[in-house]
């Protein structure tokens, strides 16, 4: 149990932020490496290494992919703003504020999630 008594709406917003960030990262991993179509490349062999860097051609993002990325970004901005501007933070200052914000980020790990 956390020593902070976070309001449920703040906890819910933080959990939604975690979940949205994870979903965004998962989605981003499926996207081409470039938003716009670009040719790939293969780098030169490096001295004392068999590693060669390179990228395949990127077809760029589709309009649907661009829209989904924009939707994720808008939702992340909304949730981040909701968490950071919540009235709960006004009662805290200095080190307590920083400690409480960190505790909120990890509150779901201790089973405090409702």
Please check whether residue 77 lies inside any domain of the structure. Answer: yes
Note whether 71 and 24 are within 8 A (CB).
Answer: no
Q: Is residue 3 part of a domain?
A: no
1 belongs to a structural domain:
no
Q: What is the pTM of this model?
A: 0.83
Question: pLDDT band at residue 2, thresholds of 50, 70 and 90?
Answer: low
Q: How many domains in the chain? A: 1
Q: Which residue has the higher pLDDT, 94 or 26?
A: 26
In a domain, 63, yes or no: yes
The rounded distance, in Å, linking the Cα atoms of 39 and 55 is: 8
Q: Could you tell me the residue range of the domain that residue 45 belongs to? A: 8-110
Evaluated on CA atoms 88, 89, 94, 99, the torsion sign reads positive
Quick check: 113 pLDDT over 80?
no
Any domain includes 76: yes
Residue 2 domain-assigned (yes or no) = no
Q: What is the pLDDT of residues 8-67, one digit of tens each?
A: 999 999 999 999 999 999 999 999 999 999 999 898 877 788 777 889 999 999 999 999
């Amino acid at each position: 149990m956390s020593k902070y008594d976070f309001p449920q709406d703040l906890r819910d917003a933080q959990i939604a932020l975690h979940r949205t960030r994870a979903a965004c990262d998962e989605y981003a991993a499926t996207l081409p490496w470039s938003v716009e179509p670009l040719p790939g490349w293969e780098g030169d062999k490096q001295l004392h290494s068999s590693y060669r860097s390179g990228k395949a051609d990127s077809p760029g993002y589709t309009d649907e992919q661009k829209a989904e990325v924009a939707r994720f970004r808008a939702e992340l901005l909304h949730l981040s703003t909701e968490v950071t501007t919540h009235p709960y933070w006004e009662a805290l200052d200095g080190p307590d504020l920083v400690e409480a914000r960190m505790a909120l980020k990890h509150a779901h790990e201790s089973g405090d999630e409702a």
